[in-house]
Structure 1
Amino acid sequence: MTKPRILVADDHPLMLSGIEAVLRDSEFEVVGTARDGAQALDMIPAARPDVLILDIAMPVRTGMDVVRTLRARHDKRAIVLLTAHISDADLIEALDLKVQGILPKEGAETLLVACLREISAGGQWIERSIMQRALSLAMQGSKSDTKMSLLTLRERSIAQLITRGLRNRDIGVELGVTEGTVKLTLHRIFAKLEVANRVELAMLMQKESAAPPTLAR
């Protein structure tokens, strides 16, 4: 029986080696390790992982950046986020983007295999305290009242890439769409957010990401 293929991305070498050690004698096969989100995205075509285990806070591209990019590409493969801390905004977005697993880094070595087994069987594994927090946010009304809530998934992904200074052609390559599609989508983003250009969009994105989410009452 073929083992489920796992790609792990974390900028801490000890965390990478620890995850590899935990999975070495399990029914899962680690097919690659990456030190940041950009490297993880680059490795996916050759590694062909069934599941990605992503540190939520990595340099170059964060775990959430990877999630946004994959989902904007309509890539539905399973994702597990490892986190020392996840903000309310990221938690809401991760669940909205159908992340299958969220685990705290502390104690992950004792939960990871069980998490992967549940996910491989088609389930979801969100650590209990994180799920309780998500339910609490849902009861308050989990939809952000910021302008970002006006954007579709693909529009949000393109807006995020604009903040990194990518050109339309590079964004198209990143998301697997044509340069023309990126240009048309940008016009829609400008109209929805009432900004005039890429600089204003980037400034708004930075402002929105720095602000805590406003929960509907």
Structure 2
Amino acid sequence: MIPILVADDHGFIRAGVEAVLRGTPFQVVATAASGEEALAAIEQHNPAVVLLDINMPGLNGVAALEALREKGDERPVVLLTAEITDRQLMAVMRAGVQGIVSKDGAESELVQVLERVHAGEKAIAPAFLQRALDLSLKPVVNPFAKLNARERDITRLVAKGMRNREIGQQLNIGEGTVKVYLHAIYQKLNIENRTELALMVVNDEIG
């Protein structure tokens, strides 16, 4: 029996993975609905392979993978994704992801991918590898160049861990106005939440 941890914020996906793995050498020993829960469950259950949904509330799959690697944990991680942004793809490749499985083809591909990563191989589709190569050859563009001065100020404060009310007090604007600015920032940077925004600031200079 090869122990697997499955982290996905949708219960039916977790149940679906367990159903696909039934009768295989892989057994789900723990499940999680967020990156934070996944990291705690990894400590507790010590799975041989970790299966992470890339987009979860709070700490997403990318951040959870990076947190694992920062601790020196090199166990195989497979990302389960419906879609992956360029930024997410480059981040997980840098963090040494072992496998990427599209949710569309998960039923037929998952067991084979898990077998390969458990054997020490990489299981990343050629299309993802080519996309990552193309992106790595592109000139580096500062994503924050899209933001105006006020949006960059708000981004810096988000990166410091400040909440909307605190940001509003700091900049002398209403909490509702901060939310409007954040929505615009997320759209310009093609991200979904403040966690992703804070991670971007770690990786890029705002200017």
Structures share a fold, TM > 0.5? Answer: yes
Change (3 A) 1:138 1:43: same
Sequence identity, in percent? 39
Which residue does the alignment assign to 2:197? 206
- 1:131: Cα distance to partner? 2.2
Written as runs of structure 1 = structure 2, the 5 A alignment for 1:11-22 is: 11-22=9-20
CA RMSD of aligned residues (A): 2.9
Please say if 1:103 is aligned against 2:101. Answer: yes
CA contact 2:35–2:58 (8 Å) conserved in 1: yes
Q: CA deviation at 1:140?
A: 3.2
1:10 alignment partner, one of 8, 11, 14: 8
Structure 2 letter corresponding to 1:26: T
Change over 3 Å in CA distance of 1:208–1:41 after alignment to 2: closer
1:71 corresponds to 2:62: no
> Take 1:39 and 1:207, find their aligned partners in 2: how far apart are those partners?
20
CA distance in 1 between counterparts of 2:66 and 2:142 reads: 18
Residues 11 and 36 in structure 1, CA contact (< 8 A), matched pair in contact too? yes
Instruction: Verify the 8 A CA contact 2:78 2:99 in the aligned structure 1.
Output: yes
CA distance in 1, matches of 2:73, 2:45: 15
DSSP 3-state at the match of 1:8? strand
Runs of 4+ aligned structure 1 residues displaced above 6 Å come to: none
Classify 1:74/1:146 alpha carbon distance in 2 versus 1 (closer, same or farther; 3 Å). farther
Gaps of 5+ in 2: 145-155, 163-193
Question: Tell me, which stretches of 5 or more residues in structure 1 are unaligned?
Answer: 149-158, 166-202
The alpha-carbon deviation at position 33 of structure 1 amounts to 0.7
Asked if structure 2 preserves the Cα contact closer than 8 Å seen for 1:54 and 1:82, the reply is yes
* Contact 2:80/2:102 (<8 A) preserved: yes
Q: CA offsets, 1:153-180, max 9 Å, x none?
A: xxxxxx9x96556xxxxxxxxxxxxxxx
Corresponding letter in the other structure for 2:34: D
Matched, 1:40 2:38: yes
Q: Shift of residue 57 of structure 1?
A: 0.3
Distance apart, 1:4 and its partner CA: 2.0
Whole-angstrom distance in 2 between the partners of 1:102 and 1:56: 10
Q: Secondary structure at the match of 2:90?
A: helix
Q: Tell me the TM-score normalised to structure 1 length.
A: 0.65
- Evaluate the alpha carbon distance shift between residue 163 and residue 72 of structure 1 in structure 2; reply closer, same or farther with a 3 A threshold: farther
Judge conservation of contact 2:159–2:198 (CA < 8 Å) in 1: no
SS at match of 1:71: helix
Counterpart CA distance in 2 for 1:85 and 1:206 is: 18
Distance 1:18 1:207, change over 3 A: closer
Secondary structure of 2:30's match?
A: strand
Find the aligned partners of 1:164 and 1:55 in 2 and give their Cα distance.
24
